[in-house]
């Protein structure tokens, strides 16, 4: 009994110390009430009530409480002590119901302590830095942007809480020339660089210059990365279902000038008949340890459809004998396929359309082997991707053999001379 009394006394003291609301409005628990993000009402939907459990105030916001009271999650109750909801981070303090940076935590910190982190992901670069450390150093975190901040360059800004510290992030797309991106490369890697700019806080006393932070990410050369960096490459795209219909994956098909697949054919560039070009197909954001890409069949046509004039140059995963010279260099072994083709053209057209049937494959199977059997793949797991290729214009109506023509006056003189000999 004494233990029970002691427990009730401690609870009462805690409730009193929190200065919880004890006015005329009833507690939600006593009237079967509940709260929205703005108000709390009893079960009858008319009488207001005060939340006394975390379940009563699901959003844990101050608007659940009566005027001039604030929701205390630890009590829980509505208290007259000014509180911020949601709670402040470890390097913030609550001021007038708003979390602001507690700059005293970063006292004696200098610009050398500001070390932005750079994360080089497969599809973006991510630059991150501490919001309150920036503020304590007299920088305005709301102005974080790329130095070339034109167009939609600022749409990738957001913040997270890490180790209960507010961290601001800015995303950078992996595209050549995008918002000031600078691309360089060597034989093995591609490098992309940019600059972050942060303005100073508005203050009568200026103690720092605006911040400029240069960063660079290095990537192994790959087909998808090359296409991301290229300006206006000619590509075809579609979406592939995963094995047994699980998931979906984007696939891109493009043509390249070189066997390293580093120089894609771009809009406005023309292919010459008889030269080699290289067809590349690549799947993004798939697990290369489990899945591979397999090209089943490829057909070339002079129109944007396959018909009786179309030519098949690949079937069953391998090249076939035809008027088109093709060599399959990689297929069914990774998330990309590579095909070398000797350029060809159809008469009376300036575009060749390449149609390929593709699917995802289990890496543990024999997806790289030829299969010229009559087995038809299910349409549920195979998709067709199309790539239009521009060719130089040729006049096929005239013969390539040269002819010499005589002027009409010479021809007439010759004929008359012949006739005069015959008549006289």
- Indicate the burial class of 103 (C-beta count within 10 angstroms; 0-12, 13-18, 19 or more): middle
Q: Is the pLDDT of residue 400 over 60?
A: no
How large is the average pLDDT for residues 174-181?
83
How large is the average pLDDT for residues 234-245?
88
How large is the average pLDDT for residues 72-99?
82
Q: Is the pLDDT of residue 422 over 70?
A: no
Give the homologous superfamily in CATH for domain 111-221: Zona pellucida, ZP-N domain (2.60.40.3210)
Q: Is the pLDDT of residue 128 over 60?
A: yes
Can you give the pTM of this predicted structure? 0.60
Is it true that 111-221 and 227-390 share their CATH fold?
yes
361-375 as b/e: b if 16+ CB within 10 A? bebeeebbeeeeeee
Comparing 145 with 376, which gets the higher pLDDT?
A: 145
Residue ranges per structural domain of the chain: 18-87, 111-221, 227-390
Q: Is the pLDDT of residue 423 over 50?
A: no
Dihedrals phi, psi of 233, to nearest 5 degrees? -70, 155
DSSP assignment letter at 372 = -
Residue 217's pLDDT is: 94
How far is 151 from 409, CA to CA, in rounded Å?
69
- Summary mean pLDDT of the chain: 81
pLDDT digits (tens, 9 = 90+) for 248-272: 899 999 999 998 888 899 998 999 9
Cα maximum dimension of the chain: 155
Q: Is the pLDDT of residue 226 over 70?
A: yes
How large is the average pLDDT for residues 172-191?
84
How large is the average pLDDT for residues 284-310?
88
Residue 154's pLDDT is: 64
- Helix, strand or coil, per DSSP, at residue 280: strand
The alpha carbon of residue 170 and the mean position of all alpha carbons in its chain are separated, in whole angstroms, by 14
How far is 164 from 275, CA to CA, in rounded Å?
60
Residue with tokens 């023309």: 270
Q: Is the pLDDT of residue 294 over 80?
A: yes
Q: Is the pLDDT of residue 133 over 90?
A: yes
Q: Considering just the CA atoms, what is the radius of gyration of the chain in Å?
A: 36
The pLDDT confidence band at residue 4, using thresholds 50, 70 and 90, is very low
Give the homologous superfamily in CATH for domain 227-390: Zona pellucida, ZP-C domain (2.60.40.4100)
Which of 341, 348, 355, 349 is CA-nearest to residue 305? Answer: 355
pLDDT digits (tens, 9 = 90+) for 11-50: 333 334 557 888 888 888 888 888 876 678 888 888 888 8
Residue 378's pLDDT is: 52
Residue 227's pLDDT is: 84
Comparing 422 with 41, which gets the higher pLDDT?
A: 41
How far is 386 from 356, CA to CA, in rounded Å?
7
How far is 150 from 200, CA to CA, in rounded Å?
20
Q: Is the pLDDT of residue 424 over 70?
A: no
């Amino acid at each position: 009994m004494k233990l029970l009394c002691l427990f009730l006394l401690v609870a009462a003291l805690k409730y009193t110390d929190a200065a919880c609301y004890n006015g005329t409005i009833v507690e939600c628990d006593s009237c079967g009430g509940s709260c929205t993000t703005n108000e709390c009402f009893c079960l009858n939907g008319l009488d207001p009530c005060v939340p006394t459990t975390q379940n009563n105030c699901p959003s844990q916001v101050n608007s659940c409480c009566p005027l001039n009271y604030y929701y205390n999650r630890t009590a829980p109750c509505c208290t007259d002590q000014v509180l911020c909801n949601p709670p402040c981070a470890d390097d913030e303090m609550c001021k007038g119901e708003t979390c602001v940076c507690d700059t005293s935590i970063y006292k004696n910190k200098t610009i050398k302590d500001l070390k932005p982190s750079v994360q080089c992901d497969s599809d973006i670069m991510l630059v991150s830095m501490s919001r309150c450390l920036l503020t304590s150093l007299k920088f305005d975190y709301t102005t974080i942007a790329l130095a070339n901040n034109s167009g939609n360059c600022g749409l990738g800004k957001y913040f997270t809480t890490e180790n209960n510290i507010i961290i601001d992030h800015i995303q950078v797309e992996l595209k050549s020339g995008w918002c000031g991106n600078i691309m360089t490369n060597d034989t093995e890697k591609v490098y992309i660089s940019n600059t972050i700019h942060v303005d100073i806080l508005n203050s009568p006393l200026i103690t720092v210059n605006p911040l400029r932070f240069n960063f660079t990410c290095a990537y192994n050369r790959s087909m998808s990365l090359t296409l991301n960096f290229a300006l206006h490459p000619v590509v075809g795209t579609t979406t592939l279902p995963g094995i047994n219909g699980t998931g979906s994956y984007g696939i891109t098909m493009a043509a390249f000038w070189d066997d390293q697949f580093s120089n894609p054919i771009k809009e406005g560039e023309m292919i010459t008949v008889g030269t080699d070009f290289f067809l590349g197909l690549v799947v993004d954001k798939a697990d290369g340890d489990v899945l591979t890409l397999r090209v089943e069949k490829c057909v070339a046509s002079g129109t944007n459809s396959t018909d009786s004039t179309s030519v098949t140059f690949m079937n069953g995963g391998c090249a076939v004998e035809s008027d088109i010279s093709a060599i399959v260099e990689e297929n069914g072994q990774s998330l990309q396929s590579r095909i070398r083709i000797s350029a060809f053209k159809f008469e009376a057209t300036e575009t060749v359309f390449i149609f390929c049937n593709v699917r995802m494959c289990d890496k543990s199977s024999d997806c790289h082997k030829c299969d010229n059997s009559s087995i038809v793949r299910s349409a549920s797991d195979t998709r067709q991707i199309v790539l239009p290729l521009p060719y130089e214009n040729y006049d096929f109506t005239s013969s390539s053999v040269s002819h010499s023509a005589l002027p009409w006056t010479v021809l007439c003189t010759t004929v008359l001379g012949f006739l005069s000999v015959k008549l006289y």
